[in-house]
Amino acid sequence: MTPEPNSFLGEYRYTIDKKGRVNVPAPFRKVLHPANNRTFVISKSIAKDKCLVAMPFEDWSLFEENLTRKLLRMNPIDQKWLRDLTRYATICRYDSQGRITIPKSLLEVAGLTNEAVIIGMLKQIEIWDPGELDKKSSDDEKLTEEQLAALAEKIVL
């Protein structure tokens, strides 16, 4: 069974070297569609989580087109949100050893120092500091019964 292109699943832990490089998990590299040319766009989380989000370059292009169509240039809230997202967006291509270099500004935004947890989130990847992810996964952050019921109404299987 072969996963769909650009379908990222699983959790991986890696060390971040002194140059800000971290491995893209081999299973993620295998499913990255060749049209992306080993390239992701990395930015801060659009959901305001303290993590980074990496999208395949082609998916980022579609995301960008949708934002351009849906956000209003004259709406200050739309522009503030867009500015906050795109000012950190960086094109990163992984090298022959499967490493991407994360700019210092993005490492700081996510509180990343020595170690990273990389999680597949279907069509995108999240990059977390292990302590931040542990906090996010704590009982205080778990979904309530009401939230789960509302989510179940959105999902059609």
Q: Is residue 135 part of a domain?
A: no
Q: Is residue 84 part of a domain?
A: yes
State how far the Cα of 51 lies from the Cα of 43, in Å rounded to an integer. 9
pLDDT of 71-110, one tens digit each?
888 888 988 888 888 999 999 999 999 999 999 999 999 9
CATH of the domain at 101: 3.40.1550.20
pLDDT of residue 157: 64
Q: Is residue 46 part of a domain?
A: yes
Which 8-state DSSP code applies to residue 142? S
Q: Is residue 143 part of a domain?
A: no
Q: Is residue 152 part of a domain?
A: no
CB atoms within 10 A of CB 6: 19
pLDDT of 2-14, one tens digit each?
678 899 999 999 9
Q: Looking at the 3D structure of the chain, how many domains does it have?
A: 1
Q: What confidence category does residue 128 fall into, taking pLDDT thresholds of 50, 70 and 90?
A: very high
Q: Span 16-29, mean pLDDT? A: 97
Q: Is residue 138 part of a domain?
A: no
Q: Is residue 153 part of a domain?
A: no
Q: Is residue 95 part of a domain?
A: yes
Residue 99, domain extent: 11-130
Interior/surface letters 46-73, b for 16+ CB within 10 angstroms, e for the rest: eeeebbbbbbbbbbbeebeeeeeeeeee
Q: Span 26-51, mean pLDDT? A: 94
